Structure 1
Amino acid sequence: MLDFNNKEQTKKVLAERAELFKTLAHPVRLCILAMLIKEEQSNVTDIQCCLDVPQPTVSQHLAKLKSAGILSAERSGTEIIYKIKDDQVKTLIVQIIED
């Protein structure tokens, strides 16, 4: 819960949440996250095939999600496996897509 008596902390927390929502606010990113919730992990090729968008587009969105701290990426041989690392984001996405 926010402490509105601590204005600086409240501003900081709300700014962080706004950045999170900006990152999530794209149909391709929401689809990537929904797929990763269902599959638990995936590589860029599988995500690209599922979404039917160009691979560079998927890679750009994955990079944005990773830099925001939403996804983790782990190398496995020649491929990179992506997973959602933020459980709060998982819960939020499930609530959004299961409406």
Structure 2
Amino acid sequence: MNNLTNEIFQETAEILKVIGHPIRLCILKGLYVEGEKNVTTMQECLNIPQSTVSQHLGILKNKGIIKGRRNGLEINYSICNEKVIKILETLLKEELI
């Protein structure tokens, strides 16, 4: 296996580890299906504390999977990683999530 292939596998494995958490996967599914959302909307949908949602959003943002756009006092999040979008398309097509 050459270095480029190894790098691609390492990057993909890291993405899969990050999105493999049930809450993060649920957040990503919501963003993919319904589009941009703020923390409060996600928290109400997931029925978990806002601090928990924020913690998972921070992980996704730090890994470059989502981005935030400020809208007044709130931040609206959306998926910005094409690999993650392709993974979600595959999962949703198979109705696994």
Q: What residue ranges of structure 1 are gaps of 5+ in the alignment?
A: none
For residues 24 and 43 of structure 2, the distance between their equivalents in structure 1, rounded to whole angstroms, comes to: 12
Counterpart of 1:69 in structure 2 is 64
Is 2:13 the counterpart of 1:18? yes
Q: Percent identity?
A: 43
TM-score computed with the length of structure 1 as normaliser: 0.87
Match of 1:59 in 2: 54
Does residue 91 of structure 2 align to residue 96 of structure 1? Answer: yes
Aligned to 1:49: 44
Q: Which runs of 4+ in 1 moved over 3 A?
A: none
Rounded Cα–Cα distance in structure 2 between residues aligned with 1:37 and 1:18: 21
Structure 2 counterpart SS, 1:72: strand
**DSSP 3-state at the match of 1:91:** helix
Give the partner amino acid of 2:15. L
Q: Which runs of 5+ in 2 are unaligned?
A: none
RMSD after superposition: 1.2
Checking the alignment, whether the CA contact within 8 Å between 1:74 and 1:82 is kept in structure 2 is: yes
